[in-house]
Amino acid sequence: MNPSSPKKIAQFIKQKSIELGFASCGVAKASFLEEEAPRLESWLKKDFQGEMSYMNNHFDLRLDVRKLVPGAKSVIVLTYNYYPKEELSGPYKVAKYAYGRDYHKVLKKKLKTLHKMISEEYGKIEGRGFVDSGPVMERVWAKKAGLGWIGKNSLLLTKKQGSFYFICELILDLEIEPDQPVSDYCGSCTACMDACPTDAITTPYIVDGSKCISYLTIELKNEIPSSFKNKMEDWVFGCDICQDVCPWNRFSKANQESDFTLKEGVTLLNKGEINQLLEVEFHKLFEGSPIKRTGFRGISRNVTFLKQKK
């Protein structure tokens, strides 16, 4: 075991995160998210979660990671770039994060490797890794860890790389020097709010999830309400509108991850040829893809809904 100071430990972890391909790494002290409690409660009471009933669960765990990881002292937050080398330009749009392999699989493996590296250097360290999984308020923790600020579209923004990246966490029972939060650089800009065709961004920093195109095409299990007809702007899986118009995303650079290479199924979906497939063919094409989450019936519903306007 290497008896190092919290500062040295932070330096070691950040160096290893770079070696593993992460875009950035920050640390926050594990604590109760006092400021988020009333915000989360208000958001839920307004039913902005829509059919995402899981958001109603584990309220106390969402606000205190120490209940997720007993004895937790630090939250390591990491970002991983997914901005594609080239964007699709077919009639049906797919969110950029879904171009390649399911990010959960890619990043969970990297988190396990980082955890192992830390344990090998400092002795057995207890903890858990989270990749958009579990009741962890990842953007809040990323903000506390100094990785960026939460924009008016509720996404984490950074000066160097915009917002096209995944966020994941490693919560450990290890004392690590925390980073300091950065300022909000959205200023008077309302580009994301002005561009949202469904008016999902109700007020700055507050998103009505039940109106978001990503929710409508992925999380919603029932039929898409007719009130959204001609408002979907040809998005068949997810949506990037509020990110595409964000001035900070002009600094986005193509990712270097081979697992995020464009999948054949995504190209077919983008061309609108997916409804010609049988269900068994769909599952084969999208094996290991985020798009499999919506399923054959969900994607077929989305394509049919979009065609209604044509």
In a domain, 233, yes or no: yes
Token pair, residue 257, equals 């991850």
Catalytic annotation present for 208: no
Quick one: which of 141, 156, 154, 138 has its CA closest to 249? 156
Which residues, 6+ apart, have CB-to-CB distance to 281 below 8 Å?
none
Question: For residue 308, what pLDDT is reported?
Answer: 82
Tell me, yes or no, whether 88 lies in a domain.
yes
Adjacent-strand bridge partners of 162: 158
The verdict on residue 236 lying in a domain is: yes
pLDDT at 310: 52
Would residue 214 count as lying in a domain? yes
157 and 206 in one domain?
A: no
Asked whether residue 141 falls in the same domain as residue 99, the answer is yes
* Within a domain: 185: no
Mean pLDDT of 5-20: 97
pLDDT in tens, 223-259: 999 999 999 999 999 999 999 999 999 999 999 999 9
Residue 138 sits in the same domain as residue 220: no
The domain of 242 spans 191-253+262-307
In a domain, 184, yes or no: no
Same domain, 201 and 291: yes
Lowest mean pLDDT among 89-93, 145-149, 167-171, 175-179: 89-93
Per-residue pLDDT, averaged over 178-204, amounts to: 97
Cα Rg of the chain, angstroms: 20
Which position has the token pair 């509020």? 242
pLDDT for position 38: 78
- 178 is a domain residue: no
Residues 114 and 10 occupy one common structural domain: yes
Catalytic residue of the set 64, 132, 173, 184: 132
- Report the C-alpha gap between 94 and 90 in whole angstroms: 9
Mean pLDDT of 63-72: 92
**Residues 6 or more apart in contact with residue 260 via CB below 8 angstroms:** 82, 84, 99, 100, 101, 103, 106
Q: Are residues 152 and 17 in the same domain?
A: yes
Q: Which of 26, 307, 41 is nearest to 181 (CA)?
A: 26
The answer to whether residue 269 sits within a structural domain is yes
Is pLDDT of 159 > 80? Answer: yes
State the residue for tokens 């994607």. 299
Same domain (yes/no): 24, 133 = yes
- Higher-confidence residue: 52 or 205? 205
Strands 149-150 and 156-157: antiparallel
Residues 224, 160 share a domain: no
Does residue 275 carry a pLDDT above 70?
A: no
3 has pLDDT over 70? no
Mean pLDDT of 195-218: 95
Question: What is the pLDDT confidence band of residue 55, given thresholds at 50, 70 and 90?
Answer: low
How many Å apart are CA 84 and CA 60, to the nearest integer? 37
Residues 107 and 210 both lie in one domain: no
Number of domains in the chain: 2
Mean model confidence pLDDT for the chain: 92
Residue from 265, 260, 262, 258 nearest 295 by CA: 265
Q: Are residues 116 and 233 in the same domain?
A: no
Q: Give the mean pLDDT of 128-138.
A: 90
